[in-house]
Amino acid sequence: MSYIVSPDVVKYACTCGLLKPISCLYFCRYCCELRCGFCVCHEVDSHFCGKCCENLPSSEARLKKNRCGNCYICPCCQQELSTRIGSKGPSNPEDPKSTPKKMYYLSCLYCRWSSRDVGIPDQGAATGGWPERENVHANRLQEVIEGYKAFITAQRQQKEREKKKQRGKFISYTDRTGVTAAALRKRIGLPAEVPNTYYRNRPKPPEVAIAREEVEDFPEDLLTKALNLMEITTIDQRLLQPDLQPTTVDKLFPIHKQLSIKRSLRCRSCEHNVSKPEYNPNSVKFKIQLFAYYHIPEVRIVTVEPLRAGKTAELILKFTNPTQHQTVITFLPLDLTDKGGDGDREVVGETQSLNLPEKQPPSLGGQPSSLLSLSSRQPSITIKPRPIRQATNCSIAIPGSKVILPPRDDAAEYDDSGETHNIQDDTKLVVWRKSNKAFVKLAVTPDDGLELNTEIVAGFTMQHIYTNTIATTVENKEPDRHDHNVRVFLSLGNLVGSE
């Protein structure tokens, strides 16, 4: 997302220790923690083609090698190719008055490459039917793939058999019902003992590839003939078709467009989604979008006085409350050793996720392994917070008073009455406020003895009251309000010399 405050001058520390601008962060409402792209689980929701917007099930996508069957991209410049109509003579050669026959060819509107350039015959139908080129090594590849597939199956079978032998000491599910595997086998007329299939069906390894000793002769004309760079493909063009790697432009052929994915992101410690897109490829909306931008007060730098080593400068920050609930911002000194706002996680996240397996009565221990694995899918991972590697070289005078931010009111944008929420502000701290925004004045002092042009980074811990509407239970109708700490880092610019 290209964000309005594009240079990332204000960064928030994610729970995992990475610093990110607010637009790149998520906020898990269940753990009350910031999450970034590196500390969530990425899951593929659906495969779709970005050109024709067709949804493909993942099995079909795999079968088609993650490419769309109908859409092509330009082998020359990698833009999408469009089908164009080119009439070609009358449909009935004897009758010159008959309507001209419509012929279709592929054309790139960007670099003007067309399927006619490489001599692909025009097609009579608009949808596909374009000749597919066979990979010369297709047979060999298939042979190798099949060889390895057989190898994997054999290995898996062997592992399962070993597991079965171990499990034999305990009462198995089938034993309870009286239907044992051996009894079943007898009933359908198979020998009771399973022979060792691994040794019997040991896969035939694919034929070993042998390197050739003789090499092609060096083409003399490489040295004598003038090189026409327009006939030679670029590295990008070659790598686009790894199976052929054409060296000259007359061997460039249309390439099936690669599919795109929609993915959902899952909090790793509580397994709730922090982002889930709508299934329809035409939709750019989300079903779940727990972006930090909607939950955490946004900090922006308004002005900062020229920074000089050891001299105090005035810094004005703008705080915006994005939520529907009033919040109070408290400034705390930056503590890099502390885990920040991790206190809540132990209470909310860990217990919730750990409770799940415990609730099951222990007597169910003998249930089939498939069911067990379903319930404990992806066990909760305790993410150890990493230390923050960002050093600060500027101190911020932490003000004692707090800043109240009223809830966001979309209608307030159009309200010129200048209604102030009757908030008694510390006028030394809050210099301006309107609806859910406030300008706050802080004093910053770059460290003494810094060299000129050093980038000045300051940091503080922003404590805000987060109102969690999700945790409201039946007996507790009041929304859950608690403090949440976020460590904010500000890049204030470079150090300048004395006047």
Partner 1 sequence: MSRNSIKILPGALVCEESKLRGDITIGAGTIIHPSATILAEAGPIIIGDCCLIEEQAKIIHRLPFDEQDTEKTPVLIIGAHNVFEVDCHVESPKIGNCNVFESKCFVGNKVTVTNGCTVGAGCKVTEEQILKENVIIFGEKCQMREGLDRPGLQTLQMETLSKVLPNYHHIRKPNKKN
**Contact flag: residue 81 with partner 1 (CB under 8 A):** no
**Contact criterion met (CB below 8 Å) for 123 and 105:** yes
Residues 477 and 463: their CA atoms lie apart, in Å, by 24
Query: Burial of 226 by CB count in 10 Å (0-12 exposed, 13-18 middle, 19+ buried)?
Result: exposed
Find the binder of Zn ion among 240, 270, 292, 394 (CB under 5 A): 270
- For partner 1, the closer CB: 211 or 230: 230
**Contact flag: residue 73 with partner 1 (CB under 8 A):** no
- Using CB under 8 A as the criterion, what x/- string covers residues 194-233 for binding partner 1? -----------------------------------xxx--
How many residues lie near Zn ion (CB under 5 A)?
Answer: 24
**Contact flag: residue 85 with partner 1 (CB under 8 A):** no
**Contact criterion met (CB below 8 Å) for 444 and 304:** yes
Instruction: Tell me the two tokens of residue 206.
Output: 């694919």
**Contact flag: residue 14 with Zn ion (CB under 5 A):** yes
Find the binder of Zn ion among 10, 56, 68, 252 (CB under 5 A): 68
How many residues lie near partner 1 (CB under 8 A)?
Answer: 14
Question: What are the Cα distances from residue 32, in Å, to 216, 234, 324, 470?
Answer: 65, 50, 17, 11
For 145, the 3-state DSSP assignment is: helix
Find the binder of partner 1 among 42, 62, 88, 112 (CB under 8 A): 112
**Contact flag: residue 76 with Zn ion (CB under 5 A):** yes
> Least Å distance between CB 57 and Zn ion?
15
* Residue-level length of the chain: 499
**Contact flag: residue 80 with partner 1 (CB under 8 A):** no
* Residue from 87, 88, 71, 76 nearest 114 by CA: 76
- For partner 1, the closer CB: 246 or 385: 246
Beta-carbon contacts of residue 324 (< 8 Å; ≥ 6 apart): 407, 408
Q: According to DSSP H, which parts of 332-477 are helical?
A: 343-345, 351-359, 369-375
**Contact flag: residue 36 with Zn ion (CB under 5 A):** yes
Residues 292 and 274: their CA atoms lie apart, in Å, by 10
- For partner 1, the closer CB: 56 or 249: 249
Q: DSSP letter string over 343-369?
A: HHHIIIIIHHHHHHHHHS-GGGGGS-H
Q: DSSP letter string over 147-203?
A: HHHHHHHHHHHHHHHHHHHHHTTSPPHHHHHT--HHHHHHHTT--SSPP-HHHHTPP
- For partner 1, the closer CB: 118 or 412: 118
Find the binder of partner 1 among 234, 283, 303, 375 (CB under 8 A): 234
Find the binder of partner 1 among 114, 269, 380, 435 (CB under 8 A): 114
Torsion of CA 171, 176, 181, 184, to 10 degrees: 170
> Least Å distance between CB 230 and partner 1?
5
Residue found under tokens 């025009």: 122
> Least Å distance between CB 409 and partner 1?
42
**Contact flag: residue 39 with Zn ion (CB under 5 A):** yes
**Contact flag: residue 465 with Zn ion (CB under 5 A):** no
- For partner 1, the closer CB: 12 or 113: 113
**Contact flag: residue 76 with partner 1 (CB under 8 A):** yes
User: Phi and psi at residue 472, in whole multiples of 5°?
Assistant: -65, 120
Find the binder of Zn ion among 10, 16, 313, 334 (CB under 5 A): 16
E strand or H helix at 140 = helix 138-167
**Contact flag: residue 32 with Zn ion (CB under 5 A):** no
Residues 458 and 394: their CA atoms lie apart, in Å, by 5
- For Zn ion, the closer CB: 38 or 173: 38
**Contact flag: residue 376 with partner 1 (CB under 8 A):** no
- Using CB under 5 A as the criterion, what x/- string covers residues 390-429 for binding Zn ion? ----------------------------------------
Residues 189 and 410: their CA atoms lie apart, in Å, by 74
- For partner 1, the closer CB: 73 or 465: 73
**Contact flag: residue 51 with Zn ion (CB under 5 A):** yes
Q: Which residues bind Zn ion (CB under 5 A)?
A: 14, 16, 28, 30-31, 36, 38-39, 49, 51-52, 68, 70-71, 74, 76-77, 79, 108, 110-111, 113, 267, 270
Q: Which residues bind partner 1 (CB under 8 A)?
A: 76-77, 110-114, 116-117, 229-231, 234, 249
